[in-house]
């Protein structure tokens, strides 16, 4: 049975809870589907925590590049933990209710860590640009104090950008019989569609947040790599060019793993309303679950220092 839905008054209604959706059309197979999801969450959390421990315990990794990698791993842990409880509750126990305020909190942290990840990827592109274009001044430009300031700026930017979202949703009047979400977690675009009110402000502010964070970040990353490519092409030796570009491969893959699903989610929400619900669900899961899984794999495969440090952590050896 649905929980009772108390009315505050006759003209304003907020649901006590929303009803989450797992994989539309595959509800009978949720038990089996939970196995790969549980595995991916385990890989994501284990891999990113290993990176954090590896950087912390290995003195040779106390460099700007690896500090930024730690920020990326931390944002991936946060993103995984934002969706893990509700997703596994739906898949394991078929528990589909999420309380109204819990939904708003989950939505805030889900989008918060997405914006943080985008900002960290931008900071990492700046790190690569400085390392390649001005290697002699790399350590003097990206000092510990500068990195701390960048981290604070990233956190402040995400907080200030996203803090209004829960309040913009809380002010809306909702339809009493309209509580079904499209996913097993709370997206801003998904929740606001359940309102029986004018959501123009929500739409415009959501668009502003996307353009002012992920949109600007992606443009600046492209600009950074244009400058990197220009610098690399100016190197005399082909071997030096390949060596310089090889230091960017891991970051380029991480950028693609993050931004391709972001574009997919944006396109689906705006132009794919007539697509089957399962397409919306799968694209959203790819956006939220796949990057935290792949980033540790990418960096452990492509970065020998990270791979060695992770093995030392796993084997219980001392600090490097």
pLDDT at 108: 97
Whole-number average pLDDT of the chain: 89
pLDDT at 315: 87
Average pLDDT over residues 8-27: 81
pLDDT at 232: 87
Average pLDDT over residues 51-63: 94
Alpha-carbon distances of 107 from 26, 63, 237, rounded to whole Å: 24, 33, 50
- Which residue, among 212, 140, 172, has the nearest Cα to 11 in the 3D structure? 172
Whether pLDDT at 278 is above 90: no
Confirm whether pTM is higher than 0.85.
yes
Whether pLDDT at 9 is above 70: no
Whether pLDDT at 65 is above 90: yes
Question: Tokens 């893990």 identify what position?
Answer: 84
pLDDT at 8: 46
pLDDT at 10: 53
Asked if 108 and 154 count as a contact pair (C-beta separation under 8 A), the reply is no
Torsion of CA 213, 215, 219, 222, to 10 degrees: 90
> How does pLDDT run across 162-217, given as a tens digit for each residue?
999 999 999 999 988 889 998 899 989 889 999 998 999 999 999 999 999 999 99
SS (H, E, C) the chain: CCCCCCCCCCCCCCCCEEECCCCCCCHHHHHHHHHHHHHHHHHHHHHHHHHHHHHHHCHHHCCHHHHHHHHHHHHHHHHHHHHHHHHHHHHHHCCCEEEHHHHHHHHHHHHHHHHHHHHHHHHHHHHHHHHHHCHHHHHHHCCHHHHHHHHHHHHHHHHHHHCHHHHHHHCCCECCCCCECCCCCCCHHHHHCCECCCCHHHHHHHHHHHHHHHHHHHHHHHHHHHHHHHHHHCCCCHHHHHHHHHCCHHHHHHHHHHHHHHHHHHHHHHHCCCCCHHHHHHHHHHHHHHHHHHHHHHHHHHCHHHHHHHHHHHHCCCCC
pLDDT at 1: 46
Distance in angstroms (rounded) separating the CA atoms of residues 43 and 31: 19
> How does pLDDT run across 77-131, given as a tens digit for each residue?
999 999 999 999 999 999 999 999 999 999 999 999 999 999 999 999 999 999 9
Asked if 149 and 119 count as a contact pair (C-beta separation under 8 A), the reply is no
Whether pLDDT at 320 is above 80: no
Say how many Å lie between the first and final Cα of the chain, rounded: 57
Whether pLDDT at 7 is above 60: no
- Which residue, among 286, 235, 237, 289, has the nearest Cα to 260 in the 3D structure? 286
């Amino acid at each position: 049975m649905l929980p009772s839905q108390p009315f505050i008054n006759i003209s304003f209604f907020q649901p006590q809870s929303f009803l989450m959706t797992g994989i539309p059309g595959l509800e009978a197979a949720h038990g089996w589907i939970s196995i790969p999801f549980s595995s991916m969450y385990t890989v994501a959390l284990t891999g990113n925590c290993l990176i954090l421990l590896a950087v912390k315990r290995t003195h040779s990794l106390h460099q700007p590049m690896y500090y930024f990698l730690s920020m990326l791993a931390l944002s991936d842990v946060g993103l995984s933990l934002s969706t893990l409880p509700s997703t596994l509750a739906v898949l394991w126990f078929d528990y589909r209710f999420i309380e109204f305020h819990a939904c708003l909190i989950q939505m805030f942290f889900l989008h918060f860590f997405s914006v943080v990840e985008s900002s960290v990827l931008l900071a990492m592109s700046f790190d690569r640009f400085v390392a390649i274009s001005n290697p002699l001044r790399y350590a003097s430009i990206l000092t510990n104090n500068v990195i701390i300031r960048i981290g604070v700026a990233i956190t402040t930017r995400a907080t200030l950008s996203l803090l209004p979202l829960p309040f913009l949703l809380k002010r809306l009047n909702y339809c009493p019989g309209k509580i079904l979400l499209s996913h097993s977690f709370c997206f801003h675009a998904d929740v606001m569609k359940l309102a029986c009110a004018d959501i123009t402000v929500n739409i415009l502010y959501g668009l502003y947040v996307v353009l002012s964070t992920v949109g600007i970040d992606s443009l600046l990353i492209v600009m950074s790599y244009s400058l990197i490519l220009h610098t690399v092409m100016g190197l005399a030796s082909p071997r030096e060019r390949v060596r310089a570009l090889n230091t960017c491969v891991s970051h380029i893959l991480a950028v693609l793993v993050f931004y391709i699903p972001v574009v997919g989610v944006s396109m689906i929400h705006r132009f794919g309303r007539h697509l089957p619900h399962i397409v919306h669900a799968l694209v959203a899961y790819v956006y939220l679950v796949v990057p935290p899984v792949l980033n540790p794999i990418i960096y452990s495969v492509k970065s020998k220092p990270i791979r060695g440090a992770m093995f030392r952590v796993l084997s219980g050896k001392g600090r490097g």
